[in-house]
Amino acid sequence: MPPASSSFTPLNISNNLVPEWMGSFTLVAPPNTDLWRKPPSRDTSTAPILYTALRNPFVAAQVTVAADWELEWDQGGLVIFAGAPPGHLPVVAPDMVPGLRNLALEDDPTSSRPQRLDATRAHRRGSSGPPRQPTPPPPYLAPEQGCKWVKVGLEFCNNACHATSVVANCEGADWSISALPPRQAARLDLRVKIERIGYALWVWYEDELLGWKKLREVTWFFWGVEDKAVRVGVYASRPANFGMSMHHRRQGGGQNTGARNLCVDFEGLEIG
């Protein structure tokens, strides 16, 4: 049984476009949309996404994804967030950071400058008291770190469909694609799965003859993550930038250019 539509939160999707039944639905990705991360803190989260929080600890999720893939990097599939999803990052208050204190007026370097100068001059004149030491700068506050996430699905790359996965943490994201078996490479659909095993997240795609094939293992994904902070869903994206000269295939082998949306179909969504 697919999860209830009412439990899903849309991102970059109008509320009135959220599907009523999650067993079979379509996400429409306009051009120049993506879910990606580059350091330092350069998140791109323009892809249409539907995600849900779970009442029970996450176990596994799977879905079949299909589309008329045309442009380089066209993609769609599953996504899992550990922490606040894009657009919902928490604000880190100064008093929440260990070792960081509020600077009082007398600790302000600009306001204390005359006092420090007076103390230094007195010391040079032979004063018995030591000069006042400059106030040290506050501890370094690292930029706010977004959540870590993993996406897996089908991606059109080099004129062929591949199983794709991306893993993102506070340092950035890495991208990996895997060629499908020749008997499956010409197909436009793929069933993918993510599964929790201990603290690790295992990423799979389904071989139509051999069953599930492991795509990658993210050993640290659930380490230090509360169950209530895990959110799972689906995404579609068309990262192609139409400001550049680009071509894509169409039926008949001809060339066509033009900005049009990517419609990704999802079937048999299961989340548990």
Q: What is the pLDDT of residues 32-88, one digit of tens each?
A: 999 999 887 688 999 999 999 998 999 999 999 999 999 999 999 999 999 888 766
Confidence at 204, pLDDT banded by 50, 70, 90: very high
State the pLDDT at residue 1: 78
Q: Which residues pair with 207 in a beta bridge?
A: 211
Residue pair 182/169 in contact (Cβ under 8 Å)? The answer is no
| Cα distance between residue 230 and residue 248, in whole Å | 37
Q: Going by CATH, does the domain composed of 5-91+146-252+259-271 fall within 2.60.120.200?
A: yes
Residue ranges, CATH 2.60.120.200, the chain:
5-91+146-252+259-271
pLDDT at 109: 41
**Percent of the chain having pLDDT more than 70?**
71
What is residue 2's predicted lDDT score, i.e. its pLDDT?
85
pLDDT of residue 132: 57
pLDDT score for 236: 98
Full strand arrangement of the beta sheet holding 8-11:
8-11, 49-53, 230-237, 75-82, 148-157, 160-169, 172-179
Tens of pLDDT, residues 145-200: 568 999 999 999 999 999 999 999 988 999 999 999 988 878 899 999 999 999 99
**What is the pLDDT at residue 122?**
45
The contacts of residue 232 (CB under 8 Å, 6+ apart) are: 51, 52, 54, 58, 61, 78, 79, 80, 81, 194, 271
pLDDT at 147: 87
Residue 161: which of 86, 67, 255 has the closest Cα?
67
Q: How far, rounded to the nearest angstrom, does the alpha carbon of residue 224 sit from its chain's CA centroid?
A: 18
Q: What is the pLDDT of residues 226-264, one digit of tens each?
A: 999 999 999 999 999 865 444 444 444 444 444 599 999
CB proximity list for 62: less than 8 A, separation 6 or greater? 78, 191, 192, 193, 194, 268, 269, 270
Distance CA 161, CA 112 (A): 64
Mean pLDDT of 134-141: 50
Cα–Cα distance between 43 and 37 in angstroms, integer? 4
Q: What's the pLDDT at 21?
A: 94
pTM for this one? Answer: 0.75
Q: Is the pLDDT of residue 205 over 70?
A: yes
242 versus 221: the higher-pLDDT residue is 221
